[in-house]
Amino acid sequence: MAYVTTPSQAEERLTSFADTWRFPEFEKLDSDQDVAGTPFYDEPGDRWCLLAEITDVSLCFASASLPATARVLDTSKLKIGHTIALLYPHQHDFLDGTQGVRVEDVITCRVFPVKLAGLFRINSDLCAYTGPLGTLKKCHSCGKEDPSVVKCGRCGLYYYCNKDCQTLEWNQKGHKEACRALKDPNLRALFKITVGEGEHRFQFPR
């Protein structure tokens, strides 16, 4: 468990995974076929990401379709119960009659070693307790509102009013798992998918 540090001078509002525009369900995705109707996402600056829990690891990514600059997907993380994030996906009708998402470039994919429900819980906690400078923060452990709360020195995103609350949260309330997941810069970037929206296309940093 890391020591706590004081809050930084500026923080950006995080994006909630409950935002169904930026984190839609599969049924809300546009088709990649020519179909009648107005596309759900039709502006160049639109940003969206499909989050899904892996229930079958029989996934295949054809290396022949990848550009030379594409990063290789870490297949060791493709495990049942982990969450996969797909940027800018569309529904695709496969030749065997099934529907899914066709991935042509793994640079748009990242896998996080946490269940989907756990990922939503982490995001919900952060959105509830993290905000712009000047807003009153709450301790993630006891819920007390206190202007003197300090950040977890490891992830820098969770707040605590004292070391006792931090220890309790770490040992009994699940922050150990959340802190480990938040070490991934791709997950941290996904929490801020709206930052710079309209200026450039969001990509995973690593």
Task: Name the DSSP class of 6.
Answer: P
**Predicted local confidence at residue 4, as pLDDT:** 45
Q: What percent of the chain has pLDDT over 90?
A: 32
Task: Name the DSSP class of 4.
Answer: E
**Predicted local confidence at residue 145, as pLDDT:** 82
**Predicted local confidence at residue 65, as pLDDT:** 45
**Predicted local confidence at residue 160, as pLDDT:** 92
Which portions of the chain are predicted below pLDDT 50?
A: 1-11, 62-71
* Residue carrying the six token digits 């919900």: 124
**Predicted local confidence at residue 128, as pLDDT:** 81
pLDDT one-digit tens code per residue, 49-101: 999 999 887 755 544 344 444 445 667 778 899 999 999 999 988 888 888 88
pTM over 0.85: no
Cβ-contact 12, 132 below 8 angstroms? yes
CA pair distance 76, 133, nearest whole angstrom: 39
Rg (CA), the chain: 19
Q: Calculate the alpha carbon distances from 135 to 11, 129, 157 in Å.
A: 10, 9, 15
